[in-house]
Structure 1
Amino acid sequence: MSEQTVSDEVSGVEIELDHVTKRYSGTRAPAVDDFSMVVPAGKIVVFVGPSGCGKTTTMRMINRLIEPSSGRITIGGDDALKLDVDTLRRRIGYAIQQAGLFPHFTVAQNIGVVPGLLGWDKKRVTSRVEEMMDLVGLDPADFRDRYPRQLSGGQQQRVGVARALAADPPVLLMDEPFGAVDPITRGNLQDELLRLQTDLKKTIVFVTHDFDEAVKLGDRIAVLGNQSKILQYDTPESILANPADDTVAGFVGAGASLKQLTLMRVRDVELEQDALTITADESPAAVREKLTTQRKQFALVLDQRRRPVRWVHVRELANASSVSSVGKPLRDVVSVQSTLQDALEAMLAEGGSVPVTGSRGEYAGTIKLDTVISTIQQIRDEHADDATADAADEGAPA
């Protein structure tokens, strides 16, 4: 990667909101009242709360899409309220629901907007656009010249993220960016964001009303009440284990123990390596022989970049002219960034073990139901042990 390197270095900067308030004329109560928070550099902080509580207003004051009435906001030590507003916004990536792409611009033109405004030369912009498309999993040759209307919802969101990151900003603001896509695509986009963040280490402020999404994505979660009052600001683990009050407990909801699966990633468990993988250019007879020899019923077809495409059953190969003409397309895959809850849902959709992909979409192994069940049992045992210990500390019978 030419301008962003995969390393342990943090490219994001700290954001501090100090006693920030927003009042609208003609209203008695402020929309945001005396909000103070430090967003650590290189971390994802998620604002979660009910509709109308002020979470989006709070986030938009960071890049001054909404001007605060009072208070101070610093970004990397710079006073955001004293910077030229256009200069400020070009230093902050912004991704919103339904991507917000310019419909009359191609994918390449959309991604290259901010670098172009910053005066980058054409060659540098073109190189950066291709780099960003590859980073978010869109083949430049296939997608560069398409228009937004020619893309699926998930593809549009990927372009939106690429555009937000194109000028290499230290800060990324994301306002319910995945709220308008189907659950499977949403999970894949969440995984993609986590993969990107592992490489890029930006400072990300993410707004959502979905607590499960907050738990999956956030290094820290701010549960907000009316007027953006901070009800609890902590790690997902701490909020799940110890909600600050009944309102926060309501966001956590029932099944807090099962939500622990959202804290565990597929990369945390051992993957199976027993699937027979093949490529589409192999002959059906050769694949059938491999399956028979290994006493397997299914083979997993990989494309030229070793990405899983579909399962093929041994019976389908008997009269097939090519491997590419048969098989069951994958309805869902998970990545090493996915949660075990994602994996469980994918298994229910696929009806069995699910392929797992690595950092660039390449095949990494499979995850099976037995693995998730044993993990759930381990979590239950740990909770039972904790409950016994707590009861003993309080002098009560377990």
Structure 2
Amino acid sequence: MTESPESRSGDVSGVEIVLDHVSKTYSGQKTPAVADVSMTIPAGEIVVFVGPSGSGKTTTMRMINRLIEPTSGRITIGGRDALSLDANKLRQSIGYAIQQGGLFPHMTVAQNIAVVPKLLKWDKQRIADRVAELLDMVGLDADQFAHRYPRQLSGGQQQRVGVARALAADPPVLLMDEPFGAVDPITRGLLQDELMQLQEELRKTIVFVTHDFSEAVKLGDRIAVLGEQSRILQYDTPEAILANPANDTVAGFVGQGASLQQLNLKRVRDVDIEDRPTAREDEPVSDFAARIDDWGVILDNRDRPVRWTDRAHLAGATSLRNVGLPLGEMVTTSSTLQDALEAILAERNASTVVTGTRGRYAGVVTIETLIDAIRSMRDEHRGDPPIAEAGLVANPVETPAATDGPGR
């Protein structure tokens, strides 16, 4: 089950958004692009708008910060009528992230992040501290990245900077318009995980637009399935939509893989995470070797996992800085069980390393743990098609050997 925002640690910093009979008709058109949308977006939740191209989901989202002015209706943000506020000040109080980050190419990373704080007339030291804090928050080293230009970044790095810029002034609301649509699938999965990790810490109100229903299931506390003119076909939790699609159109979004989608509802933090011996790179080799029974994880000076090692690697080594082998795909505590399964199978390992807040080591999840979780989910959904029929082996004879990475 998706963890409710109320059960997460930390205070809610987001605010409630209410759309009350909101419509948008463009000049010269008789048919509205958005017709009579009413919904409440709870404070501190991720609400995902999902629908086909042309359904008006981006138009609906942009009316929240008045990048597009509604023709009729009312929008309140934290109880305040958005139309009664100065439009520029409203936008400065709402974070906005789009595909490829939307970064200014002539500005450095630090300058991009500092745009809104400068408009708000923050002093230079406060801006510099905030830039460093946000780069750390999105997993980029300030010394290495602050003075680079967008062209010197990968797609994933650009997107991380785009999220950092959106969060720069600590807004209560974050609007995200298909932000991960232009990156490769592996990077997209990592960015999704990082967003969920940030949300656990920040508890913003996030409105996220996508056409990918799997992404909606993975990220959303609630999903609004939109049809033509942004008409709400169903607005509910991912679990409720998967279990009971409101109509044939919603069922078409869910597709035939509803049982497989259940793996996107359960998080790595919901299952047993095992511990392994760890050591920082500056610790003595002999101390680490004495604690290793099979294999262990080497951490950097910020407790982020960098390599795995075993007794054979440590034999004769004088330092932990260059010993061991790089870790393969990792997951976070916010990753789904689907992510964890793919990480394990991609590397042909019996386990995968798990990270927590700011990329710090959290433990290891094993294939046996995932199999137990899948069996439990299968028992909970006896009426659904078996998970094995969706392409998963729910009852393997034996676990593949860990030939090129850490085993159990």
Superposition TM-score, scaled by structure 1 size: 0.88
Taking the aligned partners of 2:155 and 2:45, their CA distance within structure 1 comes to: 26
CA RMSD of aligned residues (A): 2.2
Q: 1:290 to 1:170 in 2, by over 3 A?
A: closer
Match of 1:172 in 2: 174
Taking the aligned partners of 1:217 and 1:386, their CA distance within structure 2 comes to: 23
Match of 1:201 in 2: 203
Moved more, 314-323 or 369-378: 314-323
Match of 2:391 in 1: none
Q: Is the 8 A contact 1:184 1:332 kept in 2?
A: no
Taking the aligned partners of 1:120 and 1:73, their CA distance within structure 2 comes to: 29
Taking the aligned partners of 2:307 and 2:183, their CA distance within structure 1 comes to: 23
Give 1:139 shift: 2.1
Matched residue of 2:251: which SS? helix
Q: 2:90 aligns with which of 82, 88, 91?
A: 88
Match of 2:266 in 1: 264
Taking the aligned partners of 2:167 and 2:66, their CA distance within structure 1 comes to: 18
Matched residue of 2:339: which SS? helix
One-letter amino acid of the counterpart of residue 104, structure 1: H
Matched residue of 2:258: which SS? coil
Q: 1:253 to 1:328 in 2, by over 3 A?
A: farther
Matched residue of 1:36: which SS? strand
Matched residue of 1:12: which SS? coil
Matched, 1:374 2:372: yes
Match of 2:404 in 1: none
Q: Is the 8 A contact 1:285 1:318 kept in 2?
A: no
Taking the aligned partners of 2:267 and 2:359, their CA distance within structure 1 comes to: 16
Matched residue of 2:23: which SS? strand
Match of 1:230 in 2: 232
Map 1:274-289; keep pairs closer than 5 Å.
275-281=276-282
One-letter amino acid of the counterpart of residue 367, structure 1: V
Provide, for residues 78-128 of structure 1, a one-character-per-residue CA deviation record: whole Å limited to 9, x for no partner: 221222211110011000110011111111111111010011111221122
Q: Is the 8 A contact 1:48 1:207 kept in 2?
A: yes
Q: Is the 8 A contact 2:282 2:320 kept in 1?
A: yes
Give 1:136 shift: 1.8
One-letter amino acid of the counterpart of residue 158, structure 1: R
Taking the aligned partners of 1:287 and 1:230, their CA distance within structure 2 comes to: 57
Q: 1:331 aligns with which of 325, 328, 331?
A: 328
Matched, 1:308 2:305: yes
One-letter amino acid of the counterpart of residue 47, structure 2: V
Match of 1:248 in 2: 250
Moved more, 133-142 or 308-317: 308-317
Match of 1:394 in 2: none
Matched residue of 1:17: which SS? strand
Taking the aligned partners of 1:235 and 1:385, their CA distance within structure 2 comes to: 20
Give the gaps of 5 or more residues in structure 2.
1-7, 386-408
One-letter amino acid of the counterpart of residue 165, structure 1: L
Match of 2:392 in 1: none
Q: 1:299 to 1:219 in 2, by over 3 A?
A: same
One-letter amino acid of the counterpart of residue 151, structure 1: L
Taking the aligned partners of 1:210 and 1:309, their CA distance within structure 2 comes to: 32
Provide, for residues 331-377 of structure 1, a one-character-per-residue CA deviation record: whole Å limited to 9, x for no partner: 31111111111111111122211001121211111001111111111
Q: 2:343 aligns with which of 342, 346, 364?
A: 346
Match of 1:48 in 2: 50
One-letter amino acid of the counterpart of residue 353, structure 2: P
Q: Is the 8 A contact 2:234 2:246 kept in 1?
A: yes
Give 1:138 shift: 1.9
Q: Is the 8 A contact 1:98 1:177 kept in 2?
A: yes
Q: 2:118 aligns with which of 116, 127, 143?
A: 116
Superposition TM-score, scaled by structure 2 size: 0.86
Map 1:12-23; keep pairs closer than 5 Å.
12-23=14-25
Matched residue of 1:98: which SS? helix
Number of aligned residues: 377
Q: Is the 8 A contact 2:136 2:358 kept in 1?
A: no
Q: 1:149 to 1:313 in 2, by over 3 A?
A: farther
Matched residue of 2:101: which SS? coil
Q: 1:55 to 1:284 in 2, by over 3 A?
A: same
Matched residue of 1:360: which SS? helix
Provide, for residues 180-218 of structure 1, a one-character-per-residue CA deviation record: whole Å limited to 9, x for no partner: 122222222212211221222111110011111111111
Q: Is the 8 A contact 1:44 1:206 kept in 2?
A: yes
Q: 1:179 to 1:386 in 2, by over 3 A?
A: closer
Q: Is the 8 A contact 1:16 1:38 kept in 2?
A: yes
**Identity over aligned residues, as a percent?**
68
Taking the aligned partners of 2:20 and 2:170, their CA distance within structure 1 comes to: 26
Give 1:312 shift: 3.3
Match of 1:10 in 2: 12
Taking the aligned partners of 1:155 and 1:329, their CA distance within structure 2 comes to: 20
Taking the aligned partners of 1:13 and 1:321, their CA distance within structure 2 comes to: 54
Q: Is the 8 A contact 1:330 1:350 kept in 2?
A: no
Taking the aligned partners of 1:106 and 1:156, their CA distance within structure 2 comes to: 11
Taking the aligned partners of 1:286 and 1:249, their CA distance within structure 2 comes to: 57
Matched residue of 1:345: which SS? helix
Give 1:385 shift: 7.1
Matched residue of 1:258: which SS? helix
Matched residue of 1:134: which SS? helix
